[in-house]
Every structure is written in structure tokens, then in C-alpha cells.
Structure 1
Amino acid sequence: MEKRNKYSPDIAIPPGVTLLEVLEELGMTQAELAERTARPTKTINEIIKGKAAITPETALQLETVLKVPARFWNNLEMNYRETLARIEEREVLQEQLEWLKGVPVNSMARFGWIKKNSDSIEQLKEVLSFFGVASVRGWEKTWDKQLGCAFRKSNKYEMDRIALAAWLRAGQLEAKDVACQPFDSERFLGILPDIRKLTITDPDVFVTKVRELCSATGVAVIFVRELPKLPVNGVTYWPSTNKAIIQLTLRYKADDQLWFSFFHEAAHILKHGKRDFYEEFSDDTEGWEQEANAFAADLLIPADAFKYFASRRIFDEHTIQVFANSVGIAPGIVVGRLQHEGLLSYSSRLNRLKKKFFLG
């Protein structure tokens, strides 16, 4: 029974078939039923053939004449019309299956975002339901608007729009369950130094603490696993004026990238207004990305301290650890900053100072 309710039947049986069976059992003709209900014989015949619907008024008349509850006839009619609609829906979705080929179904199912289905049309419906839309056209209208968000991404890789939309949607759904106080920019700014101190802790400590600190200021922090062809580190958006979302991936699985992404997104929240999504362009004409980068860099490592350390040009494991301890930051973040500034090779053996994270 469960499987039958889940999938659409191949045919829709009009309630008129049941009506005809009842008439035959009672030995009543269609003409006689028409007389008893004061309806044209043609109308009764069209109901039996499925050309006309059993209206609530007709159902009440059938209840009085045939002693069969109106609810029974109404339910038959409703189920028939719903089945017709489902059959028509499958025909429409059949024409949209090509789009499904571009959806990372296997990864989404592995992460528990959707369920796998052997029926391709039912799989398409599952994916559309995940996105909260009824059709591919609905997806395009909805997500073309939302994909213009401000996100940190790698310029070395081509962006997969469907993968990005899926990642954002997973974050939206998770963020709905995060209870937050109304957004308070001063309180949020005030907790950033405390969050900075967490860079020297492990995920089992900082994940919970960061979420607690931020939710108390109106910011939900979400960690969502990355999908293939999705070179995104983080994103900031506002589902309402009283709640901001910082959504992060663990794409690089290293502490320098994770923490830089967090404070980069924090800058968007504090400096760039309450918009549902930020528009981002490759040349960043607004300067928002540069401003967010500078904010994150200076908050993690004070500008004067880094300038002095960098000027010494002594970058080995000992000096980096000593400097990191002096400014209260994880040494992997110092390594990442040196690499970003071109003072250290990205293939340096000092990469071992970076912590590798495996969350989710």
C-alpha cells in the first residue's frame, strides 16, 4: 500500500465506474437516477464516462437517493482528479529529465539531503522538492535570482551552478533550525576576538562554541559539506533582517582557509548591509571582497605585528610557532598568510603546521 501511494498509477478510474456498479446492484437505470436527482440524463451519463465531475452538491444528492455517503463520492472524485493531475505531471516531468543529469544526485544522497530513487521521474521530483520548487522552470526562476550571492570561491575552477544551488539550499534548510537572538551588530563585533581565540582549538571545541556565540548575536553559523565542482569556501546571506547566515565548506580542510573564510564572511555581515544575497562580480567593482579580505587578515594577525614579522624574513617552524604564540593565533594561519603574501611557497614543508579538519 505504501508503494502504491508513493508512485502514480498508470490509469485513472473515474468515479462514474463505481456509480454504474452501484446502479446495477440496485437495478436502477441512468434515466431513473436522473429523474430522482432532477438532473439531465446526459449529465448522469457524462459523470459515468468521466467527462463530468461529481460536485459536492451532486454527492449529497447521490447520498440521499443511493444511501451511499456523500463523503465517499467526494473522495472518489478527489482521488480521480489527483490521479489525473499526477499522470499529467509525470508527462510534463518526463520532458525535464535532461536537467536531472546535471544534478549531483549521488553526492546529495550520500550526504542525506535527498533519497535515491530508481524511477527517474520520482528522482526528479525528489530533487525539485529538496529545492522547494515544482519544476525545472521554477528552479531557474528561483535560483537564478539567489545565485548572485557574495561567496568566497576559487577562480581556478569553473562553478557548477546546480551544485552551488544545492549547497546553498542544504544550508538554508539547516539554518531554519538554528534559533538566534535578533541580530545585533555591536554584539557580533564584540564576540569576534573571543572567536579568534578558538583558532588554536580542535573542531569538537570550536564548532559548538562558535555557533553558540554567534547565535546569541543573531548569526547562524552552518558547516555544509562541499559538492564536486564546487570551489566555494563560504557565503553570507540574510533570510531576514534579524538573522544572518554564515555558511562554510571545508573545501581545503585546513585551519588557515577555514578561519579566514569565517572572518571574511563576518566582514560582509558587519560592513555590507542586510541583503538577501550580495551580488558578486569577477572584478568586484564594489570592492566588497577586498574589504572583507583586509578585515579578515588584520583581525587574524594584526597588521603591525605581521609587518614586523615578515620584515625579518626568517620563516622556519620555530619562528612561526613563536610568533603565532605571541599573537595568540594558530601557527597554520601564519603559514597561510605568508603563502598568500608570496613570502612562502604553497608547497612548503611548513604546511605541516596547518591543522587538517574533517567535519561532517
Structure 2
Amino acid sequence: MTDLSYHPSRGIRPGKLLEEFLEARDMSARELARRCGRSGKLIVEILAGKAPIEPETALQFERVLDMDADLWLGLEAHYRLQLAKAKEVERLASDSVWAARFPVKELEKRGLFAPAQGGNRVRQLLEFFGVGSVDACRERFDELAAVSYRHSPSFESHEEALIVWLRLGEREAEALDCAEYGKARFLQELRGIRELTVLSVEDFLPEVRKRCARAGVAFALVKPLKGVALSGISRWLSPRKALIQQSLRHKANDHFWFTFFHEAAHLLLHSRKAVFLDGNGYSNADPAQEEEANEWAANFLVPQAELRKFIARFDGTAEEVRAFAAEQGIAPGIVVGQLQKRGVLAYSQMNSLKDHYQWSE
């Protein structure tokens, strides 16, 4: 667990150590001042922590006390940093109400945050989001909201949870080494990824990450948060790197794979300035773009001309579905999902042909 809390006891006042050195040498502050050629007032203020140990003073202490100047300066820098952190925590405590809106308890459960309160909790969030201040955090959220909530105000009801979930995916993406994005390479990798649909989740997930990364796309599978009814998102992190993030919300392979290729379609076909959010039957995308992504994903998984031919001769048996899926080189559950979507099968039919996934604790 990463401990992002500040503990004042960890800061050692250099003057305290200096006092111990003087006692061990039976030397007074006045004598130290005389030997260093400095004023007695300065030494007293250093002992009290009111004046810093400057480089020139550290060099003099080195000669008089036989303790490296680097050590004195390091102690001083660390002490001043701890004082600054303590003051910052006090100042940030005024934003505790803001911090309380985020799902911090869930982040604790996931081992990302240590228990904290007040200003320490605010500091955790700022470090998590990679920003220096609450104002900078709000500005970043406003920029994200401007491109994320354009068409669907329903996303706004749990904005903080959504922002945290998006950041979790972003952090995973930052840790992935990806090649520079190339559209042709991405299409090539997608064809190979389609062949992985017949594998178990343990086998296909590492391959999906690897193949996407080769084309400049980070793939992140992030456990959903309460209040975030999303199946997947796609967005550009930079001109060189895109992100597909999924939640495994419906836990069935037909939904997982359709979501993946749907988000891939947004990257291939639509604006790089947009953040596409999809889930629970709604999307923030322009309806025409959403339909285009749906059609592209459906056809990429199962060529629709072939599916129509199959439907024309389909007698409603699981054996037929398995045989057709084998012909197409995809998992039977994906065929079932498309037949259910078209109304050929009821949503209660043939779900045993789908693979179902669970998050490990």
C-alpha cells in the first residue's frame, strides 16, 4: 500500500542534532559561534529552528564539528520540506468537503490510499490525479467535462466517481510502454485480436494489452466504481497514444468483445479531441457516430452478410450457433449476443454459450 499521508514526527530539526553535538563535545553555543566566526544570535536561531543552515555555515560546521556539510544541508532541506508539508496540510484541510465527494474508501480497499483525514486526504487526491493544487484539479475536471458530457447530462450525477475511474485507467496507461499510434498497424492488430475471442480471459487479456500497445493504444481493464455505469471508454491521451478502458460491467464475453471493438471504432473513425463514454444503453457520442461505431464493431466481429445468411437458415439450435461461430473463427457467445440484439433469440436464450467473467478479489 502506498502511504500518501504526512507524518510530522518524521522531520528532524537540525538544531536539535546540533544541540546534541555540542553537548557531546561539552561546547557552548557561544564557543561554536566564536570558532565559526559567526554571531551568537545566528547559532541560537539555528538551534531553535528559526534560521536555516546555509551552505557557508554547513562548511564551517563541517570543520568545527567534523560532520559533513552535505549531511547538515540534507537535514536542513528535509526539515524545511516537512514544515512546508505540514503547513500545506493545514491549508488543504479547508478543501475536505471537496475531497469527501470522491470514492476514497473504495480506493483504500483497493490499496491505493492509506487511511487519512482532512488535509492529508486532500493531498492524497492531488497526488492521485497528478496535480499541484485543488484549483488545478478543478480546471482539469472542467476540461474533461467539456468533452465528456456534451450529449448526455446523465453522466454528471456521479461525476467524481467517473473522474476517479477514468484516472485509474489513465494511470494504468501511463505505466504501459506503447509504440507510436498507427492506424494501419492498429487495424492489423485488431484482426489478430479478433482471433483471441475463443480463448479464456486469462489467456487473451495479456495478448490484447500487448497487441494494442504495439499499435500505440493502451488497454486498461479497470474494476467499476459505484455510480459509474460505464462499460467502456475511448480517448486520446496524446497525439501518439490512445486509450481503451473497460469495466467488465456485464461480465459476459459477447458484451466485453463488442465493447472493445466499439471503442476501437471510435479511435479509428472519430475525433481525437473527444472522450467517448459508453454504457447501459447510452453514450455521450453524437448519435450518428455511435451508430457508426456499433455497425463497425458488429461487422468486424461477424460479417453481417454472413450473419444474415445464417439467420435465414437458422433452426434455433445451439449446435448451429457453435458451427457458425467455428466457421467465423469467433466465440459462440458473440454470435448469441448478435442474435439476441437482432431479436432472433430472446435475451434469456442460449446464454450458456457465453463465457462469463468475475473480478478476483
TM-score, with length taken from structure 1: 0.77
TM superposition shift of 1:235: 1.9
On the 8 A contact 2:5/2:120 being kept in 1, the answer is: no
Higher mean C-alpha deviation, range 98-107 or range 242-251: 98-107
Alpha-carbon distance in structure 2 between the residues aligned to 1:155 and 1:257: 24
TM superposition shift of 1:74: 2.8
On the 8 A contact 2:322/2:332 being kept in 1, the answer is: yes
> Match for 1:172: what amino acid?
E
On the 8 A contact 1:10/1:87 being kept in 2, the answer is: no
CA RMSD of aligned residues (A): 4.0
Match of 2:341 in 1: 340
Distance 1:20 1:295, change over 3 A: same
> CA offsets per residue over residues 273-322 of structure 1, 9 Å max, x none?
545x5367966348332221121012122222334455678655455445
Distance 1:312 1:99, change over 3 A: farther
TM superposition shift of 1:342: 4.8
Match of 1:203 in 2: 201
Match of 2:275 in 1: 278
TM superposition shift of 1:15: 4.6
> Are 2:354 and 1:354 aligned?
yes
Alpha-carbon distance in structure 1 between the residues aligned to 2:263 and 2:148: 9
Matches within 5 A, 1:1-360: 7-9=6-8, 15=14, 46-47=45-46, 49-63=48-62, 69-112=68-111, 114-117=112-115, 121-146=119-144, 160-272=158-270, 274-275=272-273, 278=275, 284-285=285-286, 287-310=288-311, 315=316, 317-346=318-347, 348-359=348-359
SS at match of 1:58: helix
Distance 1:290 1:98, change over 3 A: same
SS at match of 2:231: strand
> CA offsets per residue over residues 156-178 of structure 1, 9 Å max, x none?
87653333233233323323343
SS at match of 1:349: coil
SS at match of 1:183: coil
Distance 1:244 1:284, change over 3 A: closer
> Match for 2:172: what amino acid?
E
On the 8 A contact 1:149/1:235 being kept in 2, the answer is: no
> CA offsets per residue over residues 314-352 of structure 1, 9 Å max, x none?
655455445444444333223322443455443x23333
TM superposition shift of 1:261: 0.8
SS at match of 1:160: helix
On the 8 A contact 2:6/2:86 being kept in 1, the answer is: no
> CA offsets per residue over residues 222-280 of structure 1, 9 Å max, x none?
222222222111222333433332222211001111011111111122222545x5367
On the 8 A contact 2:173/2:220 being kept in 1, the answer is: yes
Alpha-carbon distance in structure 2 between the residues aligned to 1:208 and 1:33: 64
Distance 1:148 1:320, change over 3 A: farther
TM superposition shift of 1:109: 3.5
Distance 1:180 1:155, change over 3 A: same
Q: For structure 2, list consecutive stretches of 5 or more residues without a partner in the other structure.
A: none
> Match for 1:187: what amino acid?
R
Distance 1:6 1:258, change over 3 A: closer
SS at match of 2:242: strand
Distance 1:41 1:338, change over 3 A: same
On the 8 A contact 1:159/1:231 being kept in 2, the answer is: no
Alpha-carbon distance in structure 2 between the residues aligned to 1:186 and 1:80: 54
> Match for 2:337: what amino acid?
G
Alpha-carbon distance in structure 2 between the residues aligned to 1:154 and 1:339: 26
TM superposition shift of 1:58: 3.3
On the 8 A contact 2:45/2:51 being kept in 1, the answer is: yes
TM-score, with length taken from structure 2: 0.77
Alpha-carbon distance in structure 1 between the residues aligned to 2:239 and 2:127: 26
Alpha-carbon distance in structure 2 between the residues aligned to 1:27 and 1:214: 67
SS at match of 2:255: helix
Distance 1:115 1:236, change over 3 A: same
> Match for 2:232: what amino acid?
G
TM superposition shift of 1:62: 4.7
Alpha-carbon distance in structure 1 between the residues aligned to 2:355 and 2:157: 27
SS at match of 2:8: coil
> Match for 2:81: what amino acid?
E
What fraction of aligned residue pairs are identical, expressed as a percent?
39
Alpha-carbon distance in structure 2 between the residues aligned to 1:191 and 1:79: 49
